[in-house]
Structure 1
Amino acid sequence: MVYLRRMNFQPSLIPEGDQQVDLHAQLEELLKLREEGKVLSIGLSHVTLEQVKQAEKEIGIASVSNIYTVLRRDDEPILDFAQAHEIAWTPYFPLGGVSYADIPRVTEHTSVQRIAEELGATVNQVGIKWQLEHSPNTLLIMGTSSLHHLKENVAAASLSFTSEQFEELENLT
């Protein structure tokens, strides 16, 4: 899969002058690569709903990757569109904590901390499990620096929220 990362809005370095390239032109080039067998599938990253709709209509896409956490759900309409069109959702910064993008840390929210304690889990696991539970088309790519964290991240999938815990997470802002 090849991701086309658009940079039309913050947080990002916004292109200027001849660095600005029309989405249609970029999609045409990616489509050529896919038709030549050089690319199996195409994904979009850091995009708007309108851009996702355009790309799906023009060439068909396999995945969308935007900033998305239990505490930052600005792109819920994109997630809904992706789910309705069987497009994978691969959120980046799924636990937040990115200062340049002003993304709050999921691990610092008191509800997440309390639910983790109730489940005997880590706060990271609760944030990961919510992503997986929230939408069935979610694929997480978790960065990790150790085998211990990798095992911890994988174990998040086996957590079970009570209906009250899940509802509380669903209603966080």
Structure 2
Amino acid sequence: MIRADAAGVGKLGDRVVNRLGFGSMRLTPRADTSVAIKVVRAAVELGVDHIDTAAFYVSPGGVLDVGEGAPRYATELIREALHPYPRELVLATKVGPWAETADDLRAHVHENLRRLGVERLDLVNLRLTRRGGSLAERFRVLADLRAEGLIRDLGLSNATLDQVDEASAIAPVVCVQNSYAVDLRRDDDLVPALAARGIAFVPFFAIAGPRREDGASDDHDEAVRRIARTHGVTPHQIRLAWTLHQGPNVLAVPGTGDPRHLRENIAAGAVRLTADELAAL
């Protein structure tokens, strides 16, 4: 069985993690939460030590089959699956959307603390609703919470390099989470620029690409299909492998609620693409 360490390791701040992590966004749409819990546990059993989540990953319409019809949050499912957490596990969460005031941001942080069942969050990414513009006021709120000991590390999501530099003048930025894939390439220049600053790049939608929240499809470029046949893997695995090949500071967090897809995603970390294959892609 291929494990997450097949992709090698990278750094989130001063913590070393396997470059193949797990994203929790696709846990909540599944009505049977027992399967979601099994997937999270299986990810950790396969060596995943970096899990991405968010305060706003919640069941559609706020309702799942959980007795009284209360909404289920990905953070709650992670807690149910893994608490007390393995010492080496890094839990990264996101706050920001729909937070219009400093008090809203603080409330999102405290909500994450409560739902995850921890006294300090490993990593909090400020999710920006648009690329560009000043983020200083909002990032200072998180920096203050970090100074209070409620957050270990800070990052950004959906950010430009200018925004990274603005935030870094306030507090250290350990990672940037942006949408990025073989057919979603607006951040080609950002990845090496972050590497030069010692900042990890954590792409989301590496498999879904331009389909984003709609998820992966079977509509792949012929080069992706051809290279997948050569390696005896799926096109989705080639898309993920391509992402990992973009730099040693790239940490992938593919999300799934399916046990088979979880194993395939982790196995993609063992795929080694040639220079010619990378050029074709």
- TM score, norm. by length of structure 2: 0.52
Q: What does residue 164 of structure 2 align with?
A: 52
* Amino acid across the alignment from 1:31: A
In 1, are the aligned partners of 2:125 and 2:157 still within 8 Å (CA)? yes
* C-alpha distance in 1 between matches for 2:225 and 2:174: 34
* C-alpha distance in 2 between matches for 1:118 and 1:31: 48
- Could you say which structure has the higher strand fraction? 2
Q: 1:62 aligns with which of 171, 174, 177?
A: 174
Q: 1:8 aligns with which of 120, 130, 146?
A: 130
Seen in structure 2, the aligned counterparts of structure 1 residues 66 and 24 have a Cα distance that, compared at 3 Å, is same
Q: 2:204 aligns with which of 77, 82, 92?
A: 92
| TM superposition outliers: structure 1 runs of 4+ over 2 Å | 96-107
In 2, are the aligned partners of 1:116 and 1:122 still within 8 Å (CA)? yes
Q: What does residue 220 of structure 2 align with?
A: 108
* Amino acid across the alignment from 2:222: T
* Amino acid across the alignment from 1:75: D
* C-alpha distance in 1 between matches for 2:212 and 2:244: 25
TM-aligned CA deviation for residue 58 of structure 1:
2.4
Q: What does residue 39 of structure 1 align with?
A: 151
TM-aligned CA deviation for residue 167 of structure 1:
2.1
* C-alpha distance in 1 between matches for 2:182 and 2:156: 21
- TM score, norm. by length of structure 1: 0.82
Q: What does residue 163 of structure 1 align with?
A: 275
Seen in structure 2, the aligned counterparts of structure 1 residues 109 and 81 have a Cα distance that, compared at 3 Å, is same
Greater RCO, 1 or 2 (C-alpha within 8 Å, sep 6+): 2
Seen in structure 2, the aligned counterparts of structure 1 residues 107 and 55 have a Cα distance that, compared at 3 Å, is farther
TM-aligned CA deviation for residue 116 of structure 1:
0.2
Seen in structure 2, the aligned counterparts of structure 1 residues 78 and 103 have a Cα distance that, compared at 3 Å, is farther
Report the 3-state secondary structure (helix = DSSP H, G, I; strand = E; otherwise coil) of the residue aligned with 1:65: strand
* C-alpha distance in 1 between matches for 2:252 and 2:226: 23
Q: Does 1:130 align with 2:238?
A: no
* Amino acid across the alignment from 2:125: Y
* C-alpha distance in 2 between matches for 1:140 and 1:66: 11
Q: What does residue 29 of structure 2 align with?
A: none
Seen in structure 2, the aligned counterparts of structure 1 residues 86 and 130 have a Cα distance that, compared at 3 Å, is same
Report the 3-state secondary structure (helix = DSSP H, G, I; strand = E; otherwise coil) of the residue aligned with 2:204: coil
In 2, are the aligned partners of 1:95 and 1:106 still within 8 Å (CA)? no
